[in-house]
Chains A and B, each alone.
Chain A
Amino acid sequence: KAGVTQTPRYLIKTRGQQVTLSCSPISGHRSVSWYQQTPGQGLQFLFEYFSETQRNKGNFPGRFSGRQFSNSRSEMNVSTLELGDSALYLCASSLVPSGSGQGNEQFFGPGTRLTVL
């Protein structure tokens, strides 16, 4: 089974631009979670999608948004980029959402390294 894939792997943008990152979960997985990782803040939860619906959202500004398609693929978008948005963005998939009472693993993709200049 193929793992979680993320595209692109690297991105360089300038302040004020917007960016869209893509995530394809493991086949059969319906839950997709997004995380931001920075040296200062560590791994922070952005949001989770299950069956095309956002079920949970972290403490990020509205510039961060996402969506999930019927095939469970997910995209996240960051508008009006700021220098502080430079980070590794990680996507994870699982059969069902964590915290739903069913113990199941979250598997991560390789990440997208975003640099904002």
Chain B
Amino acid sequence: SQQGEEDPQALSIQEGENATMNCSYKTSINNLQWYRQNSGRGLVHLILIRSNEREKHSGRLRVTLDTSKKSSSLLITASRAADTASYFCATDVTDSWGKLQFGAGTQVVVTP
């Protein structure tokens, strides 16, 4: 079973709008990482948030983590057409030795 599950599965917005996607997970984590994937290519690392952090920012990205609810959210502000991609959350669990556990991803389409 997947550790992380993203919601929604798909999101369609217009340029300039904000995009928010959520990730829920099941077990305690060391950290949670968000990735972007464009059309079947490699995963691009966006941001890592540690279990003792609540919020992190990177450019137009804002990530929150609520360990009590076992959930995280990724906000992309002022979306651009180039943000069209699939977004995945991945959890780093103690003793998982190199294994990040991924959700199914959120497909985001940003139309001009």
Q: Which A residues fall within an 8 A CB radius of B? A: 4, 6, 31-33, 35, 42-43, 45, 47-50, 55-56, 58, 88, 90, 92, 94, 97-111, 113
Contacts and interface: CB of A to CB of B under 8 A. Distances in A.
Contacts of A32: 98
Contacts, number: 87
Interface string B39-65: 011111100101000000000000000
Contacts of A110: 41-42
B99 A45 contact: yes
B44 A108 contact: yes
Interface in B66-112: 88, 90, 92-105
Contacts of A42: 2, 102-105
Given A33-B98, A42-B104, A42-B105, A103 B43 contact: no
Contact of B42 (A48, A58, A101, A111): A111
Given A43-B102, A45-B100, A108-B42, 7 more contacts: A42-B102, A98-B30, A98-B96, A99-B92, A99-B94, A99-B99, A103-B48
Nearest to B50: A103
B20 interface: no
Contacts of B41: 110-111
24 contacts: A4-B42, A32-B98, A35-B102, A45-B99, A48-B98, A56-B96, A56-B98, A58-B99, A92-B43, A97-B97, A99-B30, A99-B96, A101-B30, A101-B94, A103-B48, A104-B48, A105-B33, A106-B90, A106-B100, A108-B43, A110-B41, A111-B40, A111-B42, A113-B40
